Structure formats: structure tokens, C-alpha cells
Structure 1
Amino acid sequence: MANFSIATVFIASISLLFALSNSFSLENPTDRRILVLVDDLALKSSHSIFFSSLQTRGFELDFKLSDDPKIALQRYGQYLYDGLILFSPTIERFGGSLDVAAILDFVDSGKDLIVAADASASDLIRNIAAECGVDFDEDSSAVVIDHGSYAVSGTEGDHTLIAADDFIQSDVLLGTTKIEAPVLFKGIGHSLNPANSLARNNARVLFSGSLDLFSNKYEIFCSSSNHQCKRQGAQIITCNRYAKSGNQQFVTELSKWVFHERGHLKAVNVRHHRVGETDEPAIYRINDDLEYLVEIYEWSGSSWEPYVANDVQIQFYMMSPYVLKTMSTDKKGLYRTSFKVPDVYGVFQFKVEYQRLGYTSLSLAKQIPVRPFRHNEYERFIPTAFPYYGASFSTMAAFFIFSFVYLYSK
């Protein structure tokens, strides 16, 4: 058995992966058709609360045994599903045309994935995790142990049932409603590979070291901090502090994030022009004053709402950023800024590279050439050159006076 401290509980329990580009419908990015692969169809009952929450929110779940010979993710080059749930930790080989490569292609195409493992995780599940940068504990019998934050179970002295309440502080991942009760976890430990940049696309992948995390069995419990519980044999009936665990809320909120009901951004109406004008020019001149505007919206699960943030930046880029400015927002979705074109000519880019925890990334780029002044656009007399002008005219005057004196003096 592996022994982990409470600080590592949620590294061991949940891994969230997301990366960098957009491959979703701008009209409705939320997944709807989901394939659920299980080792035993009895999981439909033992995990019914989680599945019911998905169906209540409008998802179409297609349950299949993981070794079903008719399994297929696509037909005639088109994907049949928007998301995939693998609740089959012991499967050694998928049925039909499904394999590791097919699952990775599914994710690479922008689709989403939930994988739940346990101490009996097969090499197949471990390989899928490894390809996504997640390393499960190599010991197949290892489970996470915490002697400080464990939940009281039917077996005294068993500290493998962990009651964790140290969650990531992110509304986009776990919702705005605080999870009051601890989340129960019992499963295998795993970690993220530090060499993994998570930079694939805006598909979202969730790995759990516990299949029981999503089940109905941990709805009622007693934590180690409060032992005043009523029992009937080994079955816990109620707890004075918490009537139920936070598992249902936890996995429900995570599934909203995974299936793009939250945290999905889009950028529209990207435009730029000279200050005081409205038409977008084909070229700018050095030292022009210009304005850049973009509208950013966030999907709420049912509609697009204005995205409000104070950290969206624009780069005016050629080999390196010549201008880097934070854009202001009217809190209705519109972001804008203005700046002066650098006194350097060449081919520049307007670049917005926005990456924020839990949100789909935005990558906007548009080239625009910048030219120097034409010969007839320079000022006739430059104020900074007045000393040189004075020196030239004074030399001419002195030469004229010298010539006059030399020629006409006796």
C-alpha cells in the first residue's frame, strides 16, 4: 500500500487536463452524445446518481460493455459521440475497433474523456493515462493511505477511505457553491508527469484513481474528526456533523467542466482601425494611433454570456513584442485598447494568447504590415533640427559677408 499525506490527496484522486485550441461548435459547445463503457452493466445502478445528473442535464448516454464487439467511435469518418466515459478499470482489451490509438485520436479531435481507475487498473488503462501524461502507481495493489484525514469505515484501523476537503479554489472547475462536506476517496494514487505540457487542444480529460468516487456507496459517512455516529453493525446510519458526503456535488461540478458546460470561451468580432476611423486598413504607417477590439463570451451551459476579466492582453508582435497592453472591458463582452504603432516598419502581428486555469484558451493572430513615412510625408522643418538649420544659414550668411567685404574693401 502507498502512504500519502493529505496534501497529495487530490493529486492522487483527480487529474484535470486541458490544452490549447478550439474545435467546438460556436453555437453550442456542450457535449451531448456520450459513450459509457463499463466492465459490468450493474454499474448503471451502483453509479446511478452520477449518471442521472448527466441525463437530467440533457446528455444522451449510450451504455456498452467495454468488450462489446460492436463498439465504434466513428463511422464514415464522422464521430458518433462527443464524449467518452471509461468506467472499466480492469479491461485488458476493448471490443470492436476501439483501442488506445482510437481513444487518443478521439481526444486529439477535440472530444472529451473521463477515465476512472482503481487498484486493479489494467495495463490498457495505464497506457491511456500515460499517453495523456498521467502516471498511476506501478504497484497494482497500492491504494492511497492517509492517517490524518480518514473516514471511519466498517473496518477499524483501515485508513484507505479518505475524507478530503482541500480543493482547488476555482469556480470554473468546482462551481460557485462551496462544497461543505468532505469528499470520500478510496483508490490508487497517481501523478502528473512534469514533462507534460498539456498543450494539445481544448479537449478536456479527467482521470480519477477511484471508480468509487462516482458511486452511490459513499453518500453517508462519518469523518475522523467526529466519531459521534449511530451505527447498525458495520453500516453507518447518520453522522452528527455531515448527513452526506460531498461526492455528488464534487463529481457533478467536475462533469460540468469536462463536458464544456462551463469555462468555454469564444472570441468574435475581432477588429482594428486607426483612432477616429472605423474601416480596417490594409497597412499602417509608423507612429499611427490605432485601436484594437475583440468580443469575448463564455458558455453558461445554455447560452453565451459576456466574459468579464481584467487580464486579457494584446501583443503587437514582430520577432518579439513591441507593444504589450492589457485591454479594458465594458463588462458586456467587449475588450478594447489603443496604442501608437512603433517607429519600426515591417510585418507585425496582433496576438492575443489567453490562457487561464480551467478555461479554454484563446489564440488570436492577424498579420498587418507597417510602412515608413513616404518622402512627401515628412515635416519640412523638424524642431529638433533647428540648431542644424541655424548653423547652415549662419555659415551661408558669414560666407556672403566675407565675400562682400573681400571684393569691395580697399
Structure 2
Amino acid sequence: MASSTRGQALLLVAILLPALIAAFSEDNPTDQRILVLLDDLALKSSHSIFFKSLSSRGYELDFKLADDSKLALQRYGEYLYDALILFAPSVEGHLGGNLDVAAILDFVDSGHDLILAADTHTSDLIRDIATECGVDFDENTDAVVVDHINFAVEGESDHSLIIGDKLIESDVILGKGGIKDPVLFRGIGHSVNPASDLVVTVLSASPSAFSAPPNAVLKAPPALTGTSISLVSVVQARNNARILISGSLDFFSDKFFRSSVQKSGSSSRSASGNEKLAVEMSKWAFHERGHLKAVNVHHSKVGEKDEPSMYRITDHLEYSLEIHEWTGTEWKPYQADDVQVQFYMMSPYVLKALDHNGKGLFYTSFQVPDVYGVFQFKVEYKRLGYTSLSLSKQIPVRPFRHNEYERFIKAAYPYYGGAFSMMTGFFIFGIFFLYHK
């Protein structure tokens, strides 16, 4: 009986070990295993181009129905997947197995990535997940984004098939050169908090768009209008987990990928930019681009190599680190002119921009301030589309010892002169007082 149990345990380890090895690591931060949850398995065919683009880049896709009773994101305390694609906007109540809003948020909080797509029949479950991620879909469940000026002529008479070209200017999110072709969108709009630095709108509606039920007679202004309507947004959490939220499931469909686009009032046609936009955003969401790491953080006195246990006030020191960016296949040197280091105690006493040699090495030198205490070297680097770097290294700073001061300080020469002149004057006065009649 014991040998049978041991054999089952070994079999379980043999099954799980390859999966654990393929997981996210510092050497290869790109996601490997992706769980794809669908409302209907027919989406595998209708969205096949998007899924094939992921498979061709080496991702392992596990397709399941969203209400599958055997769904699980983790087993024995280990996550089975590196990312989740949720193409199940109409799923009600809760997902299959033990998946609910809390389980998906825990998945993201543990550093894993999420792509979520909604549509005109989005359930409260999907809305709750989006809200927790910082995105609020229109509260009117019947509302869609309508644009009577920037719509596709092939669309319905309600002008809900709109053309979006208000894209963020970011090579790290959209790829080098950005997206030149117009993008088709049919779905619901959402809003993001403009004060948040975690949520970024990638595709927004045109100034003439509004969110309302199609063909409805409006008695009050819509809640969402113009460029405040976000169509596609991304989130980078503080733990560097990445989330992509689209208000349209059709946005990822083969039909939209292969459609030619003719804008109302124009006689020319152009290819749809949906495929390139979806592929480039998925590269960002799954850490193929914009993922940074810092290594070889070093500090020492100028001219020395070893790191000291403490510094003395007014010492001259050097600080350096290497920053590399993941390209999807390898690490390459990162280049930027906005990386800064703080020499920090309660507040920054020194703030300096780091120079770089073009090969990933960032460095600078400065003088320790004339203040002693426990300081920190701090690098807080946050740039749109890139993973944030937060580095700190604590170091004490001591004052001069009694035998390290200069014997005669130039600034004190007036005081020295005053003391000696006083003694000389007293001596002359004594001679004069004693011997002069």
C-alpha cells in the first residue's frame, strides 16, 4: 500500500515538474502557459488568427469553457498557468471550478497577466473584474459606442461599427512605428481614472462618439462622450503584472483582422489595423517587450573597487548598475537618459541623473553630504510601458573621528590670530605695568 502511494506521488511530480520548469523566470520573463476561457468553443475558429499568432510565438494555449467544473488556476499551492485570456463576456454568476473574481484578482496580484474582452452582453462578473483593475464599463448595460461621423460603411445602420485611430504614442506598447491603419471596433466603452498612473488608454474614441443604446432617443446627455471613451486600455500593476482590457470581443476576430476598412465620407479603402494592434499589445501584455531588470548594483569610494561597510561625510563615491531589456528572445542593453539615483535619508540629499555607456551600464559619482546617519541608495524608475524598477541599498554615513580632522583649519585662522594677539598683548601690558614708572 505504501509503495503504491509513493509511486503515485512520483508520477504526480513527473507530471508537474515540466510545467513548473516552463513557468515565468528571471532568465525568461515571457509567459509560457496560457489558460484561454471561452463562452463557446466556436471562438477557437472565429478568432483563430489571434490564437495562431500566440502559438507561433511559442505559447502553450489551454482552451476551456468558462463554466467547466474542473477549472483551476493553481494546484498544491503552485499556479498552473502564467497568464489568462478571458474571452467569455457573457458568463454569469461565477466561472467554473473554484474561479471567481477573488481568484482571478489573486492570480494577477501574484504577478500573472490577464487579457479580458467584453462585448454588448457583458455580465456583472466581467464588469466586476474590470472595475477591480481600474476600468469602469458604461453602467448602462444596453449602451454601445456609437459614432455618426467616424463609422465604417459596411456596418449596421446604427453606426455602432466605428473606426478608431486615436492611439497612444508608445513604441513599447504598439511596436516600433506604431499602427498606421484604422482599427475596427464594435462593443462597449469604458472610462479610466485620469489620475491613475497604472491604467493607460491605448485606443480611444473620436470626439464625435458617444455611449448609448443604439437607435435610442436620448432624453439626457450620455455618461460617456468623445475622447473620454476608452475602447482598449492596458494596466501595469505595481507588481508589474500586465492587464489588457478591450470593450470588444470582435476586435480580436478573424473577420475584423481580414476586413478592409472604408470610412464614411471617404472613397478609399485600407487594410484593418486590428491584427497588428492585437498582436503588438499581446506581446506587451505577455512581457515580450518592455520588461526591464537591474543587475550588478555597485557602489564604492572613487578609485576603489570593494564596497565599504560605511562612508564618512564628504567622501567621494561612485554608484553604478546595469539595466537590460527583454526582447522576447534575449536580454539586450537598455538605453535611456532619465534614470536617476537618490542618496536618501527621510528626503533626497543627492539626486543625480545616471550616465550610460550605451551597453547597459549606468553610472555616476558624487560627494557624500556633510550629514551623518543611515542613508539609502534608491533608484525608482517608472516609464510608460516599461516594468518599474525599485532598488534600494542601505549604508551608514559617519562623522569624522577625532584624529581625522585637520590640525589647523584655514577657516579658523582669524580665531587663532585673535588668541595669540591676546596673549601677546597681555605679555606686553605686563612688562609695561611692572617696569614703567
Q: Same fold (TM over 0.5)?
A: yes
Q: Where does 1:77-156 land on structure 2 (aligned, <5 Å)?
A: 77-92=77-92, 93-155=94-156
Q: In the TM superposition, what whole-angstrom CA distance separates every residue of 1:70-116 from its partner, at most 9, and x where no partner exists?
A: 10000100000000000000001211111111100100000000000
Total equivalences in the alignment: 375
CA contact (8 A) 1:37 1:86 kept: yes
Q: Given the alignment, which residue of 231, 238, 245 partners 1:200?
A: 238
Q: Which is bigger in relative contact order (C-alpha 8 A, separation at least 6)?
A: 1
Q: Which residue of 2 aligns with 1:273?
A: 300
2 CA distance for matches of 1:200 and 1:285? 35
The 1-side partners of 2:372 and 2:277 are apart by: 53
Question: What is the match of residue 292 of structure 1?
Answer: 319
The aligned runs of 1:215-234 (5 Å cut-off) are 215-218=253-256, 219-224=258-263, 227-228=266-267
Matched residue, 1:398: 425
Q: Secondary structure at the match of 2:181?
A: coil
Q: Which letter does structure 2 place at the counterpart of 1:26?
A: E
Query: How far, CA to CA, are the matches of 2:39 and 2:433 in structure 1?
Result: 114
CA distance, structure 1, for counterparts of residue 166 and residue 195 of structure 2: 25
Aligned in 2, Cα 1:129/1:154: closer, same or farther, shift over 3 Å? closer
CA shift at 1:211, angstroms? 0.3
Amino acid at match of 2:111: G
1:286–1:371 Cα contact (<8 Å) kept: yes
Q: List runs of 5+ in structure 2 lacking aligned partners.
A: 1-22, 199-236
What corresponds to 1:350 in structure 2? 377
Equivalent residue for 2:17?
none
How far apart are the structure 1 equivalents of 2:41 and 2:403? 80
Q: Who is 2:357 aligned against?
A: 330
2:407 matched to which residue of 1? 380
Q: 1:278-300: CA deviations, max 9, x gaps? A: 11000000000001000000000
C-alpha displacement of 1:25: 2.1
Deviation at 1:24, TM superposition (A): 5.5
Matches of 1:76 and 1:337, distance apart in 2:
47
1:162-173 correspondence to structure 2 within 5 Å: 162-173=162-173
Distance in 2, Cα, partners of 1:407 & 1:25: 92
CA contact (8 A) 2:37 2:63 kept: yes
Amino acid at match of 1:148: I
1 CA distance for matches of 2:114 and 2:334? 26
In 1, distance between residues paired with 2:24 and 2:386? 14
Give CA deviations for 1:124-175 in whole Å, capped at 9, x if unaligned.
00111111111111111111112222111253x4321111112111000000
Q: Which moved more, 1:52-61 or 1:381-390?
A: 381-390
Q: Deviations over 1:207-229 (max 9, x none)?
A: 1000000001122233225644x
The AA in structure 2 aligned to 1:139 is N
In the superposition, relative to structure 1, how do residues 289 and 142 fare at CA in structure 2: closer, same or farther (>3 Å)? same
TM-score by length of 2: 0.84
Contact 1:108 1:200 in 2 (8 A): no
SS at match of 2:173: helix
Contact 2:313–2:368 (Cα < 8 Å) also in 1: yes
Q: Which moved more, 1:343-352 or 1:157-166?
A: 157-166
Cα separation, 2, equivalents of 1:154 and 1:404: 115
* Corresponding residue for residue 232 of structure 1: none
Whether the 8 Å contact between 1:24 and 1:110 is mirrored in structure 2 is: no
Task: Give the partner amino acid of 1:217.
Answer: K
SS of the residue corresponding to residue 292 of structure 1 reads strand
SS at match of 2:248: coil
Question: What is the SS of the residue equivalent to 2:167?
Answer: coil
Superposition pairs for residues 300-315 of structure 1, below 5 Å? Answer: 300-315=327-342
Q: Percent identity between the aligned chains?
A: 68
Distance, in Å, in 2 between the alignment partners of 1:42 and 1:288 is: 68
> Deviations for 1:187-207, whole angstroms, at most 9, x for unmatched residues?
001111457563531000111
Which whole-Å CA distance do the structure 2 matches of 1:383 and 1:151 have between them? Answer: 81
SS of 2:259's equivalent?
A: coil
Q: What SS does the corresponding residue of 1:342 show, helix, strand or coil?
A: coil
Q: Which residue of 1 aligns with 2:189?
A: 189
Query: What displacement does 1:399 show?
Result: 0.7
Normalised by the length of structure 1, the TM-score is: 0.89
Letter in 2 for 1:184: L
Residue 247 of structure 2 corresponds to residue 209 of structure 1? yes
Who is 2:286 aligned against? 259
Q: Could you tell me whether the CA contact under 8 Å between 2:170 and 2:178 is conserved in 1?
A: no
Aligned to 1:57: 57
